[in-house]
Structure 1
């Protein structure tokens, strides 16, 4: 198996489902309530194929608690798109 290095600051793409969109809204509402400020929620941008981009570390931080057996997944599939140019062979 060939191995690759990947920087956690690089962007990846996932297709969020309703659970994922609801989780982003929930987290937004928690922050807005904690700072006692009414901030309008804006959904994450979606490309023409339905994918949203996140830095890998942000994706893990935002949805990691949901990525355990028994939880509803926040993604349509468990596939993550990574641009090939971002992968560097391990030497």
Structure 2
């Protein structure tokens, strides 16, 4: 799930991304692995989001067992949905 907030008043600011990975995803090791994978995937997509955006990515429990390709597809779908809602 991705939440996208309106850009800040200063568009020169970089996009800010936060991650929410609860204990429902797994133990600390699994949560950190999911968070690292999402951070890497999000880094590749920041240019498409635009400067000044604020994004919160919430990992669901299924993220623990998902492949990187599945996480990437889910993240793309969630970002597209969040951008459509913002417009």
Give the alignment's TM-score, normalised by structure 2.
0.32
- Look at both structures and tell me which one has the larger radius of gyration over its CA atoms: 1
Give the alignment's TM-score, normalised by structure 1.
0.31
Considering fraction of residues, name the structure with more helix.
2
Considering fraction of residues, name the structure with more strand.
2
